Amino acid sequence: MEKRTIIALVLMVIILFFFQTYFAPKQQPKQPQATEGVQTKETPQAKDEKIVTKTAKSEAAPAPAKKTERPLAKVEKRDPKDVYVETPYLKVTLTDLGGGIRSVWLKKYKETVKGTRNKEVIEDVKPFIYIPKISDSINNETIDDRTYFKPDRENITITDKPETLTFTGTLEDGKKVRKIYTFHPDSYLIDMKAEFEITDKDKTAVEFAVISGKKESSYVFKGPFVYNGKKLEQIDKIEKTMDFSKNYTYAGFDDGFFAFIWIPDEGSKPPLSIYKTDSGTPVVRLSPDKGTLSGKLFFGPKQSDVLKSLNVKAEKIIDFGWFDIIAKPLIMFMNFTYRFTHNYGIDIIILTILIKIIFYPLSVKSYKSMKEMQKLQPMVAKLKEKYKNDRAKLNQEMMGLYKTRGVNPMGGCLPMVIQIPVFFALYKALSGAIELRHAPFFWWINDLSAPEDLFSFVIPGIGFTVPVRILPLIMGITQVIQQKMTPTSADPLQEKMMLFMPIFFTFLFWGFPAGLVLYWLVNNVISIGQQYYINKKVT
């Protein structure tokens, strides 16, 4: 194979190897599961699953102002009581200690692809612990971990109409604080209204925080974001408090496949800021200048149709970075074909076939160029011997030879170079498109967005677990076959390098999502067929 083709392969390997470093956003530090101010409690919905509850003490705002004399209610010596609300879309746990939302479960999504941990309940998901446990404070005295609220209702199951739940808390001086939640039977939205009996001198704050989010993928943005009506700002790094004032349409937290969004009501938009606690947790702080705060809380998937229905351009949070312009059309195409196939694995195969058909003329030209380059190898060898001490002259003579014979030295590697953006766009799609999360193909391939999981074995004496994956092995075999059918170079060193490439690619793809390996495998199989056809036609 021509030297420049090898260079293209090596470049692709380097890009793959360093992809996480250059294209993946930096993750926020993982928070401790059990520290001071953090408690763990089981819920009836999932007795074998732990839910972390954040108290306002562990997430206090930095450098609080001097406290005033306003007294808060004394903490009762009893365990907090939970109130459970279930809709067709959500399972929500609220607590009377602070009257806030403690956890949210999405009923239409599983936490794990197998989803067999608790057979007694609907298999649901906790892909994140977004706790808009409204860390309310008045004059920098936190309400949530000091005041017990009284709910006006017990557990609620919503089926056909919206239902409202109200928590009322009383401060020691008799002033009331109310939190009103409205749940809907056909939406991931929760209407939220907070009412404070305050004077003009009082300062209030409402905070939303994310802790211990489950890291399903490291190749997509995760963290807080703010949309100002024109541009989405994804906040990778928080050096100091970021003040957005009222210049925003919505804000929230992104967790890859899912998101939490705060959407203020018209006329009730409080100043917004984002800061990071000492433990590294990003916090969205709202500072209402009135005694009322109202808006909508969205807990749900980053699905285009769902986000568009919010009517605030929330679909902007679906962002695949540099490859967004390619990834979104790929997803749109697969969503279209899915209407007929009902299998995203088949859709990836169809997509691969379409791409190969589009680039077939280029593949023919590339193959012919490689055959011509192979014929020129004896002449190139003579030129190298003749001008071995004059590199500039050698390059000049070689370019002249290629021009005379009408050969493009880069023609052999062009199809592979063109595929690189498509490859990475599909990678990003598999890492962040909710449609592909837990999407099965067939038999043991039950999640195209994750590495294949057939079975694993432990190496005796070492304790190292080795996953057995069939798709990368088959892909490696097709790579060998394709290489055998490709015109080779007369250079023995280059031939040895090419023999090593299938092995390297097999190990490289071992940890890639099954959908990506499937794409490359089908691409190899089609390339083998194309090369066989072109070879018969040329000869």
DSSP 373-435: HHHTHHHHHHHHHHTTT-HHHHHHHHHHHHHHHT--TTTTTHHHHHHHHHHHHHHHHHHH-GG
How much is the pLDDT for 188? Answer: 94
Helix (H, G, I), strand (E, B) or coil at 262: strand
pLDDT band, very low/low/confident/very high, at 187 (cuts 50, 70, 90): very high
| pLDDT tens-place string over residues 280-297 | 778 888 887 777 889 999
Q: Give 239 or 3, the one with higher predicted confidence.
A: 239
Query: Are 240 and 381 in the same domain?
Result: no
Measured distance CA(131)–CA(100) in Å, rounded: 9
Residue 16, pLDDT > 80, answer no
Whether residues 398 and 435 share a domain: the answer is: yes
Comparing 500 with 89, the larger pLDDT belongs to: 89
Asked if residue 349 belongs to a domain, the reply is: yes
State whether 311 and 450 are in the same domain: no
Pick from 84, 266, 54, 51: nearest CA to 165: 84
Average pLDDT, the chain: 75
Asked, for residue 13, whether it belongs to a domain, the answer is no
**What pLDDT is stored for residue 116 in this prediction?**
44
Q: Is the pLDDT of residue 127 over 60?
A: no
Confidence of residue 489 (pLDDT cuts 50, 70, 90): low
Whether 10 is in a domain gets the answer: no
Q: Indicate whether 347 and 427 sit together in one domain.
A: yes
Cβ within 8 Å of residue 431, ≥6 positions away: 217, 219, 220, 256, 449, 513
Are 331 and 313 in the same domain? no
Asked if residue 168 and residue 292 are part of one domain, the reply reads yes
Residue 83 pLDDT exceeds 50: yes
In this structure, what DSSP letter does residue 75 have? P
Look up the CATH number of the domain holding residue 243: 2.70.98.90
* Position 66 pLDDT exceeds 70: no
Both 306 and 381 in one domain: the answer is no
Q: What percent of the chain has pLDDT over 90?
A: 28
Environment class of residue 263 by beta-carbon count within 10 Å: exposed (0-12), middle (13-18) or buried (19+)?
Answer: buried
The residue among 317, 340, 363 that closes a domain is 317
- Shared domain for 377 and 306, answered yes or no, is no
Residue 149 belongs to a domain: yes
The answer to whether residue 190 scores a pLDDT higher than 90 is yes
Q: What is the pLDDT of residues 382-438, one digit of tens each?
A: 887 888 788 888 888 888 887 787 777 666 666 777 778 888 899 999 888 999 999
Distances (CA, A) of 437 to 30, 216, 340: 23, 10, 19
Q: What integer pLDDT is reported at residue 99 of this predicted model?
A: 84
Single residue among 298, 317, 336 that ends a domain in this structure: 317
This prediction has a pTM of 0.75
Task: Please check whether residues 424 and 296 belong to one and the same domain.
Answer: no
pLDDT of residue 59: 37
Q: What is the pLDDT of residue 143?
A: 56
Q: How far apart are CA 340 and CA 334, in angstroms?
A: 10
Query: Which residue, 317, 337, 372, sits at the end of a domain?
Result: 317
With respect to residue 76, please indicate whether it lies within any of the assigned structural domains. Answer: no
Written as one letter, the residue type at 359 is F
Q: List, for residues 365-380, the tens digit of each pLDDT value.
A: 777 777 777 777 788 7
Output the pLDDT for position 330.
Answer: 95
pLDDT of residue 9: 54
Query: What pLDDT is stored for residue 69 in this prediction?
Result: 44
Between CA 219 and CA 431 the distance in angstroms is 6
**Is 2 within a domain?**
no
On whether both 313 and 338 belong to a single domain, the answer is: no
pLDDT at 236 over 50: yes
Higher pLDDT, 219 or 315: 315
Task: Report yes or no on 279 lying in a domain.
Answer: yes
Distance CA 56, CA 209 (A): 10
Q: Containing domain of residue 146, as a range?
A: 50-55+82-317
Q: Give residue 51's pLDDT band: very low, low, confident or very high (50, 70, 90).
A: very low
Q: What is the CA radius of gyration of the chain?
A: 29
- Decide: 521 and 474 in contact? Cβ < 8 Å: yes
Sign of CA dihedral 306, 309, 314, 318: positive
- Kindly state whether residues 301 and 213 are assigned to the same domain: yes
Q: Are residues 313 and 374 in the same domain?
A: no
Please check whether residue 34 lies inside any domain of the structure: no
Domain count, the chain: 2
Query: Phi, psi at residue 146, to the nearest 5°?
Result: -125, -20
Mean pLDDT computed over 436-459: 87
Please list the alpha-helical segments (H only) found in 30-83: none
